[in-house]
Amino acid sequence: MAPPPIPRSTTATLSLPPIPTPSYGLGGFFTAACSTRIAASFVRSVGIDSQPPCTPEADLPRLNLGTLLTLHVFMDASAPPTAAGRPTPEELSVLEPIDEPAAADGAYPARKGWRIAWRARPTPLTPVWALRCERVTELIEVVGPDGGVETEYFNWETFHGVLAPVVKLAVGEKMRDGFGRSMEELKRWAEEKAKGGRV
């Protein structure tokens, strides 16, 4: 039972103290983070590279713990929409429901939703001792002003290892801008979809 790890309605920032992640815990050199409220409930999809073994009845195109995936990172906001992103190998490290009661003293409300996290897979150029990072997204159901379901979106990625200061110095500002852009685009996409619009 804990309050959200990021204050509500946080514009993309690198200025928070490092936030723990499920795989790597406390520590880290820096965290990129953002949060917003989305006036929609939604389900997002990704391209799956491979799945861990599962039962035949569960053999569906969905995410499972241990799923290996490739995300395509777009660090340059000025790049044309047709530009290819930089492929980054990731592993799904957490996929769990959140069902936390409210604080007894009323400091924060109950939290119900989902937590998903993925961590970078080591490569020859970035072994785990040199750079490791994990990105966590929490999607919390809340009641909107009209009584409908809305989503509070909390997103952070914490960087550890001797290369983390280099990453922050080299691409920290682009990363912060990318976090903000990604959050705003997701919000726009989900809200348009909820209204029945074309995205």
Is 17 part of any domain? no
Residues 6+ apart with CB under 8 A from 168: 14, 29, 30, 159
- Note the pTM of the prediction, 2 decimals: 0.84
For 127, the domain range is 30-194
Identify whether 167 is part of a domain: yes
Does the residue 2 lie in any domain? no
Average pLDDT over residues 148-155: 93
Instruction: Summarize pLDDT for 98-117 with one digit per residue, the tens.
Output: 999 988 888 888 899 999 99
103 lies in some domain:
yes
Pick the most confident of 2-11, 23-32, 41-50.
23-32
CATH no. for residue 72?
A: 3.30.530
- Burial bucket for residue 27 (CB in 10 Å: 0-12, 13-18, 19+): exposed
pLDDT at 1: 45
**Residue 93 in domain:** yes
Whether residue 58 is predicted with pLDDT greater than 80 in this model: the reply is no
- pLDDT value at position 174? 93
Q: How confident is the model at residue 63 (pLDDT cuts 50, 70, 90)?
A: confident
Nearest in space to 45 (alpha carbons), one of 192, 154, 189, 194: 189
- Lowest mean pLDDT segment, chosen from 26-30, 84-88, 100-104: 84-88
| Per-position b or e across 65-74, b if 16+ CB within 10 A of its CB | eebebebeeb
Q: How many domains does the chain have?
A: 1
Tokens 């997204």 found at: 137
* H or E, element range at 82: none
